[in-house]
């Protein structure tokens, strides 16, 4: 829920400000969260000015109070991984038949000229409005699938009132002609970044995946991010097909890529995804890996020790029938976890609270851990400031209401 830029106050049965909370791992995830029962949050000019118990806080004279009832209010959530560019694919791809079947159904629909720009743009606009309605304060978005979408998406996010990190996705095996910085950026975002250089402050080159993008491109993008203290993101260990392709150089995913993406000289690295990412130097603090479905407990340990953050997208994984990340093991091995919806090509909506609800219902993950993943953990994973993911005086007045089932 986005609050308008006037004096305003809301009352809720409980408010969880997460004011003093740091990003949490392992047992820290389950610690009690401070809750303000019968809390009131006062807002002025789009910023939180005060919060406290209803009986202890005095409202300014011109401030209107809205009672939201028996709900739990948390800071605006952070959706750490989505694909706004793919919003036009909602309902158009094949689900529940594995990753390769999904990808096969998507390839002919990708924006390569045949999809009207207007269709893409309208879908992005609508998706941004829905993110605002869900109480999203920040989004980690994969960008770079068509020209001019970066600047447009940035504008729509700002209009909707949430922050955005643009992960500009490098893809394919055609290596750049030289190592000038311009070539670190994927082709579709270059013009927008040239015309609006201020966008680079919110953008970073990212990798699509180990099986789809050359080792050189991935390493260059990671290096670029490391030098500039930007977060580097890539899809990692999303499906059994990915593991099969990387370890054995065969399978349905390999067949799709062999036809149009892989060079004839491509050879499987002969390693599982995590080991290969390690070998290329892609992991470490400042890396946000996405999915982590096919990880052993030993690999979870390696991931945690490297300082890599992991974004879980459980509903997307379920829709594509790729298996599910072992969240309890990832937690017990101290991996820094956050949540993302993935795009509308593999999900029904972009409400990241629904990912939390899914993990609560399907993996029995406690609410305290989920609230941390939705807020302070994601803020750390995306390298955001201390005001994001917390409700404190001065923070943007964006909050989210927990689903009834997760209520405090």
Binding site for Zn ion (CB under 5 A): 342
**DSSP-assigned letter for residue 116:** -
Distance separating alpha carbons of residues 204 and 222, to the nearest angstrom: 9
Least separation in angstroms between residue 339's CB and Zn ion is 13
Our CB check for Zn ion shows the closer of 141 and 395 to be 141
| Listed residue (67, 52, 76, 56) closest to 8, CA to CA | 67
- Between the CA of residue 342 and those of 53, 75, 83, 101, 154, what are the distances in Å? 37, 21, 6, 17, 18
- The smaller minimum CB distance to Zn ion, of residues 326 and 342, is found at 342
Question: What is the separation, in whole angstroms, between the first and last Cα of the chain?
Answer: 18
Q: Is residue 382 a contact partner of residue 80, using CB atoms and an 8 Å limit?
A: yes
Nearer CB in complex with Zn ion: 85/342:
342
Specify the residue, 154 or 342, whose C-beta has the smaller distance to Zn ion. Answer: 342
d(CA 263, CA 332): 40
Nearer to Zn ion, 214 or 347 (CB): 347
Collapsed DSSP state (helix, strand, coil) of residue 139: strand
Residue 330 beta carbon to Zn ion: minimum distance, rounded to whole angstroms: 18
Q: Quick check: 206 and 168 in contact, CB under 8 A? A: yes
* Smaller CB separation from Zn ion, 209 or 327: 209
CB of 216 to Zn ion, least distance (A): 22
Burial 222-253 (b: 16+ CB within 10 A, else e): bbbbeeeebbbbbbbbbbbbbbbbbbeeebbb
Q: Which is nearer to Zn ion, 242 or 342 (CB)?
A: 342
Of 342 and 351, CB closest to Zn ion: 342
Nearest to 245 by CA among 212, 261, 268: 268
Compute the least distance from the CB of residue 233 to Zn ion, in Å. Answer: 9
- H-helix or E-strand spanning residue 122: helix 117-133
Minimum Å distance from CB 187 to Zn ion? Answer: 19
> How far apart are CB 284 and Zn ion at their closest, in Å?
20
User: Nearest CA to 78 among 286, 381, 365?
Assistant: 381
Query: Where do runs of H (alpha helix) occur along 250-396?
Result: 252-260, 273-279, 297-306, 314-320, 327-332, 352-363, 367-374, 376-381
Shortest distance in whole angstroms from residue 343 CB to Zn ion? 6
The minimum distance between CB 235 and Zn ion, in angstroms, equals 5
Return the residue nearest Zn ion (CB atom): 342
């Amino acid at each position: 829920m986005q609050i308008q830029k006037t004096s305003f106050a809301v009352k809720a049965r409980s408010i969880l400000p997460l004011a003093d909370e740091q990003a949490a791992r392992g047992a820290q995830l389950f610690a009690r969260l401070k809750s303000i029962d019968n809390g009131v949050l006062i807002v002025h000019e789009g910023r939180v000015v005060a919060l406290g118990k209803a009986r202890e806080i005095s409202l300014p004279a011109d401030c209107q109070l809205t009672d939201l009832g028996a709900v739990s209010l948390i800071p605006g959530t952070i959706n750490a991984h989505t694909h706004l560019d793919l919003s036009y694919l909602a309902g158009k791809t094949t689900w529940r038949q594995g990753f390769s079947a999904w990808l096969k159904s998507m390839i002919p629909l990708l924006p390569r000229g045949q999809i009207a720009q207007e269709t893409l743009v309208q879908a992005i606009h609508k998706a941004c409005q829905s993110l605002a309605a869900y109480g999203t304060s920040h989004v980690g978005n994969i960008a770079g699938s068509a020209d001019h979408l970066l600047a447009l998406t940035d504008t729509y996010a700002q209009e909707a009132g949430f922050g955005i990190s643009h992960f500009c996705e490098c893809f394919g095996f055609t290596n750049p002609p030289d190592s000038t910085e311009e070539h670190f950026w994927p082709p579709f975002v270059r013009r927008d970044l040239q015309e609006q250089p201020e966008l680079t402050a919110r953008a970073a080159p990212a990798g699509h995946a180990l099986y789809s993008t050359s080792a050189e491109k991935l390493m260059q993008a990671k290096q670029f991010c490391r030098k500039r203290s930007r977060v580097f993101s890539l899809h990692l260990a999303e499906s059994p097909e990915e593991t099969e392709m990387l370890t054995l150089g065969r399978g349905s995913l390999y067949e799709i890529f062999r036809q149009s993406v892989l060079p004839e000289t491509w050879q499987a690295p002969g390693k599982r995804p995590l080991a290969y990412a390690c070998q290329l130097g892609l992991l470490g603090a400042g890396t946000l890996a996405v999915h982590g479905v096919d990880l052993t407990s030993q690999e979870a340990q390696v991931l945690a020790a490297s300082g890599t953050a992991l974004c879980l997208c459980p509903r997307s994984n379920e829709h594509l029938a790729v298996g599910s990340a072992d969240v309890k093991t990832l937690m017990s091995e101290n991996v820094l976890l956050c949540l993302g919806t993935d795009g509308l090509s593999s999900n029904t909506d972009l409400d990241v609270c629904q990912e939390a609800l899914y993990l609560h219902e399907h993996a029995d993950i406690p609410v305290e851990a989920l609230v941390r993943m939705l807020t302070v953990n994601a803020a750390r994973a995306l390298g955001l400031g201390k005001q994001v993911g917390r409700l404190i005086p001065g923070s943007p007045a964006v909050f989210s209401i927990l689903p009834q089932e997760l209520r405090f």
